[in-house]
Amino acid sequence: MAKGNSKAYLNSPMVDNNPVDYEENKTLIELCLDIFNHKEPDLSKPEEVEESINYYFQSCVSKGLRPGNMGLYAAIGLRKDEVRDLLSGRQKSFNGRVANPAIIPLIKKACRAMSLYRETLGSQGKLSPPVLIFWQKNFDGLEDVQRMELTAENQLKPEKTPEEIQKMLEEDIPIDTDYKELK
């Protein structure tokens, strides 16, 4: 008999106390099969790529499932890193399939639609904030950046004489007068 808590998933922030039952699992696998059995598009033909993107979204709608970026990428026959390389211009050929530059705006548009979908889920309270932030960082370019503006400022003010500066320093240095010297 296996040791451990068989209901550990109940404390998971990812499943949000919603285990996958048989029917849900079946629907998820059917989507995977749809994408697996769908003809991979010719990346040199923007109309085929667009058809595959639409096919993926329509498959999600017909099954009542939430679309995801990885499913979108699978529908066009690419992995996340390949999409990133394509969109950045680092790579134009994938397993012998040369991508037409005209597919880049289609993929970007589909990714923007996914960003909108995630944001809408979050704004409607259908997605926990940590999961939303994770997805936005991984797929939407969200960054935790603190911007600081440093400016040079002369606090000594050049109009002071050396004597005035010396007096300022003496007045600014704290001197502890309430102390006892240890022997």
Q: What is the pLDDT of residues 75-87, one digit of tens each?
A: 999 999 999 999 9
What pLDDT is attached to residue 94? 85
Region of 166 on the Ramachandran plot (φ > 0 left; ψ -120 to 50 alpha; else beta): alpha
What pLDDT is attached to residue 1? 44
Distance (Å, rounded) from C-alpha 121 to C-alpha 129? 10
SS3 3: coil
Distance (Å, rounded) from C-alpha 46 to C-alpha 104? 9
In contact, 77 and 41? CB cutoff 8 Å? yes
What pLDDT is attached to residue 65? 95
Confidence check: pLDDT of 7 > 70: no
Q: Give the phi and the psi of residue 92 in degrees, each rounded to 5.
A: -125, -5
Handedness of CA 67, 73, 77, 80 (dihedral sign): negative
Which of the pair, 162 or 71, is modelled with greater confidence? 71
DSSP collapsed to 3 states, 10-43: HHCCCCCCCCCCHHHHHHHHHHHHHHHHCCCCCC
User: Which residues, in sequence order, are CB contacts of 95 under 8 Å at separation 6+?
Assistant: none
What pLDDT is attached to residue 140? 83
Which of the pair, 3 or 137, is modelled with greater confidence? 137
- How many other C-beta atoms lie within 10 A of the C-beta of residue 50? 18
User: What global pTM score does this model have?
Assistant: 0.67
Q: What is the distance in angstroms between the CA of the first residue and the CA of the last residue of the chain?
A: 70
Token pair of 151 as six digits: 């400016």
Owner of token pair 């058809």: 51
What pLDDT is attached to residue 60? 96
